[in-house]
Amino acid sequence: MTTAHPMPEFGSLSLLLALMLASYTLVAGVFSLWWSARLAGHGDSNAIALASKLQETARRAGIATFVVVACAAFALVWGAFTNDYSVSYILHHTNRELATAYKFSALWSGQEGSLLLWSFLLATYGFVLRVRHKVDVRLSAFAGTILASVQVFFLLLLNFAAPPFALEPGELALNGFGLNPLLQYPEMVIHPPMLYLGYVGFSVPFAFALGALMMRYPGEKWIHITRRWTMLTWMFLTCGIFLGAHWAYSVLGWGGYWGWDPVENASLMPWLTGTAFLHSVMMQEKRGMMKSWNVWLIFSTFLLTLLGTLLTRAGLVSSVHAFASSNIGWWFVVYMVIVLAVCLFTYFKQRDHLVSENRLESVVSREASFLFNNMILLAACFTVLWGTLFPVLSEYVDGTKTTVSAPFYNRVNIPIGLFLLMLTGLGPLLAWRSTSLRTIRRNFILPGLAFGLSAIGLAIGGIRPWAAGDDWQSVFFSLLAFSLSAGVITAITTEFLRGANVVRVQTGVSLLAATGILMRRNTRRYGGYLVHFGIVVMFIGIAGGAFNQSREQEMGFGDSVQMGPYKLVCLSYTQDSNANYDTDFALLDVYKSGKKILQLAPEKRFYHASQTFSTMVALHSTAQADLYVIFEGRDPDSNKPIIKVFLNPLIAWIWIGVLIVVIGTMFALVPSALASRREVAAPAAVAVRPLTDMGGA
């Protein structure tokens, strides 16, 4: 028998103490801020000092909340590593034979653990905010109090609705039921925490925006304070989304990476509104415009992160990514209604504080490109939201759950994506306020030529929609995507070269060194260019999907299948077993141009603890295409393996593009270097060109 450990009691006590501390942070924070506001200008010094001390105790209680929630998270992980099956959550999400890394990932493999992770990450962000409170003490106090309200909600869930340390009734089990086989993949140790870092991270700019609006904060300092928070959070969410896409590609065994699944959509929606916010907030910084718009973008983004958590962990929708179902959905719905009501009340009370200082002067301007960008991103978000919630709404109205399939999303979002790709290239070429005809001619000649010549060259090379039959539409969109990508890459490259050439002339260094100086001088701007370049590379990879091929075949000893330039020959097929799972696999020799290049071994596993099957994809990836092989099972009559082979062109460029986006974002987070005396003349010359900032990446 397994002996129960004291950790469950320690974890439960930690969560209860954390709730008390977070509640104190909230109540003391609200009271101290209200008291300070009443005393402002006419209160005696002793009362003001007392209010300040109360506010400081709230800040310290928030810091203590982080320590206690961390103790609770540690207790759950410790229970997983020590096989403490007295805890129901540990029993149902681990087993003795589970690899060490996957025992650690038990923290987020189920509903209760993932909510604890949410609370822990929120406490971590709050800890950093409160430690750095001196950037603006009063605004940080507002933001910290708002974060405490979010923390109280999640701790209420963990204490009363979804306790992670609930004990398993009856006798203690000898072994656990095991981790979901779909989660037993290396990326699943990284993907959920990365996604949650993005989800939870948007709480910080939300708290600052709401706090700034409540206190009628003058100027745009709250944007400057939260810019790095928002960029970092956006980067985490981007990584989380594409790690999930790569997991779906590598594990689910259907040959694709994005199926418009409800939980995939849940992560995409706050990414879309967050991206819109990063762009439009530049208009508020530069021109004092779109203040109300920006506030509601960040409010919406936070609400969508809550919706994403609800969809993923409350079983509201059916999804291969949703590993839990329970009745906590109403908790989220009520809380989201409260958050929306607070946002609406604050906005209407303070909306006169958000009056724009300037107006749009021309549709051919940087401001207009950002506005169009925002409208398109929100249109995409609304489409995804409608398609995701329609099955739930239809079931509620008439009792029939109507599923919205991928063609619906593709019909709307592919044209939207192409329009966004075009704006990625056009926006940086436009000037603020208004762009002259001369500037348009000068800036658009090379990108326009690249677009036209690419379209002609690709058509000559064989990408011809008019000859593609029923697939003409997908081929047309791919042709357009490739051509637009060529134009955007040309525009970005031209911007780099023009700026670097000015620096080279002024400093006398080489063009490469001048490029480095140029980028260091304005990391935000040129980091943004790298992000845009990464997005273009991703579009190139996505466009290759129009030319995917697949073939399914029964393969005995010596049988072969041809797929594009590859020939696969079945060398053998057999079975194996270990303590965690049984496996059925085939060994396939892969030939190209008559020469053997590698051996692939696709598998189908049966996990003992969970009594479920899982597909292990065999993958050979190159810059040109992925060879993607699946062991689908055995033919019941011949007992031979059934092998399905995909050839997916350009998939690798999606993951390369994501890497470039991450590098660009991290570069933009680095403070810009001051120009040396030798370089001092260059900035003025470079500034003549209308360049974009990372805020719009």
In the chain, domain spans:
1-173, 180-435, 445-546+653-696, 551-648
Provide the CB-side half-sphere exposure for 466 (13 A, CA).
2
pLDDT band at 419 (very low <50, low <70, confident <90, very high): very high
Local structure of residue 175 (DSSP, 8 states):
S
What is the tens place of the pLDDT at every residue in 482-494? Answer: 999 999 999 999 9
Higher-scoring residue by pLDDT: 401, 442: 442
What is the tens place of the pLDDT at every residue in 70-103? Answer: 999 999 999 999 988 889 999 988 888 888 888 8
Q: In this predicted structure, what is the pLDDT of residue 2?
A: 45
- Asked if 391 and 405 count as a contact pair (C-beta separation under 8 A), the reply is no
3-state helix, strand, coil in the chain (%, to 5): 65, 10, 25
Helix, strand or coil, per DSSP, at residue 41: coil
* 539-544 average pLDDT score: 96
What is the tens place of the pLDDT at every residue in 544-586? Answer: 999 999 999 999 999 999 999 999 999 998 888 888 888 999 9
Strand partners, 618: 629
* 450-458 average pLDDT score: 95
Q: Whole-number mean pLDDT of the chain?
A: 88
Residue 689 has pLDDT above 50, yes or no: no
b/e per residue 411-435 (b: at least 16 CB within 10 A): ebbbebbbbbbbbbbbbbbbbbebb
* 259-272 average pLDDT score: 92
- Asked if 300 and 314 count as a contact pair (C-beta separation under 8 A), the reply is no
The angle at the Cα of 73, spanning 71 to 75, to the nearest 5 degrees, equals 70
Q: In this predicted structure, what is the pLDDT of residue 662?
A: 96
pLDDT band at 314 (very low <50, low <70, confident <90, very high): low
Helix, strand or coil, per DSSP, at residue 605: strand
Q: In this predicted structure, what is the pLDDT of residue 316?
A: 64
Residue 466 has pLDDT above 90, yes or no: no
What Å distances lie between residue 224 and 279, 321, 428, 448, CA to CA? 14, 36, 21, 36
